[in-house]
Chain A
Amino acid sequence: MTGLARRRPLAVLLGLLLFHLLLISVQVQAEDNQTLLRSIGLSVVTPFAVVIRGAGDGLNWILDHSAYLVGVVEEKKQLQSELDLLRLENQQLRELVDLALRSPNYQVLAGRYEIESVPASVILRKPPFLGQRLGIDLGRLAGIMPNAPVFTSNGIVGKIWSANPISAEVELITNEKSSVGALIEGARQMGVVQGDGSGILQLHYIPNAAEVAKGARVVTSGSDQIFPKGLPIGVVERSVPGDQGYREITVRPFVNFSQIEELLVSVPSLESREKGSAPASESRPRLPRGGTG
């Protein structure tokens, strides 16, 4: 074997490692989580994932729709869909009632509670030990933009991390770097909910003097300019005074993240899209239409 042939494996290895390092460095530099490579890669994978998801759903459909259950299944699906939307509207109307009692010009603020959304299906999930992210089957073509709020009828799920034309990645609120402006119902204390990667949330910046009981509901405050005010986040599971003047509060999310199959993504209204595709966080969301939680 010549010296050159002997060194070929090592040269190939070094070439491949260099390729990977370049690949990583390009992505680390990207500020909006969206590189051309990532967009192309996910666009290639998405059709296969959608077909597999569809095949799985089709199998479920066949199993569910045995002859005498057809009517019951359809009715249950329709009722579930209506219930999901009503739950969300109910939560927001409760917030509106609170607002009306406290603020004389609540009608001006009422627009903040309207959400325009599109229903999307989960097609990919990240391994549980590597973080909290989902892949969904809708992207920029459906009006989905980075930072758009994502929720179900039970509560908020997270926000869009990156989006390509036909799919998008959702970063869950339980992710370590995720944070959401929060409000404790009843106590009316505002804080920030942060994930730690464990599935449980931490509520920060609530003073020790505030009375926060176990079981109190936590909703979005709207202060982060991403999530509209009044969407459910979770329920206080533990609340004890902390060392630095703030309570140590843990919040259990309302949403069971491991079982999400369908979710709603906030999209800019048609008018603002026509004006020049304003990011979802800057748009004024409207009431849910046609979603299935």
Chain B
Amino acid sequence: MSRGVPPTEIGALFAACALIQLILGSFLPRAFYIDLPLILTLYIGWYSDPVKGAVSGTLLGISQDVIQLMPIWGLNGITKTLAGFSASYLNRWILAESNWARGILIGCVAFADHLANSLMIRVVSMGSPDLLPAGLWKAVLTGLGGTLFFHFYDRFKYPTRDYSRM
């Protein structure tokens, strides 16, 4: 598969992500258990270079902070920046082409992301968010959502590729 996500595609993914989050924030905040910005950050980082991964993580994370009314902006920005940056290197070191492996990987990152955000909110005394049950739910649902996204978006982008071994 050719590496790289063009800037126009990153822009389109960012716009779609912001729109979906605005809709969810208005009508279905419980759906935020699926961390869409994290899934997109990992996708962009996974298929492109570390700089694009980090910059995409920053943009998606800050938009998430704004739309989700976070007490401090920049918390999701930090975690998504690190996630986008790391995903680019993880793709070189870890073979996670199967849906199961991707799902578990995304779930673990989502759990770490939730713990990091929650702990930072506690450190700056802006509240004490739910750590474990919410973190586990977020990991499971984001892992599942991320697997589905990678599965279908890959088939949409590269319809001629052989997916029989995944």
Q: Which residues of A contact B (CB under 8 A)?
A: 8-9, 12-13, 16-17, 19-21, 23-24, 27-28, 37-38, 41-42, 44-45, 48-49, 52-53, 56, 122-131, 133-135, 169, 175-177, 197
Contacts and interface: CB of A to CB of B under 8 A. Distances in A.
Interface stretch (B27-35, B97-105, B150-158): B27-35
A197 B71 CA distance: 14
B79 to A, nearest CB: 9
Interface string B28-68: 01101100000000000000011100110110000000111
Given A129-B134, A197-B127, 15 more contacts: A9-B88, A16-B57, A17-B81, A20-B81, A23-B74, A28-B124, A49-B22, A123-B26, A124-B26, A126-B29, A126-B70, A129-B129, A131-B129, A169-B69, A175-B127
Interface residues of B, number: 47
A27 B73 contact: yes
B26 A125 contact: yes
A278 to B, nearest CB: 27
Q: Is the interface of B mostly helix, strand, loop or mixed?
A: helix
B16 interface: no
A23 B51 contact: no
Of B18, B19, B30, B69, most A-chain CB atoms within 10 Å: B69
A114 to B, nearest CB: 31
Given A38-B73, A124-B67, A129-B130, A16 B25 contact: no
A53 B85 CA distance: 35
25 contacts: A8-B51, A9-B49, A9-B51, A9-B54, A12-B55, A21-B74, A23-B74, A23-B77, A28-B124, A41-B73, A52-B22, A52-B26, A123-B26, A124-B22, A124-B26, A125-B25, A127-B32, A129-B130, A130-B118, A130-B127, A130-B129, A131-B126, A133-B69, A134-B69, A135-B25
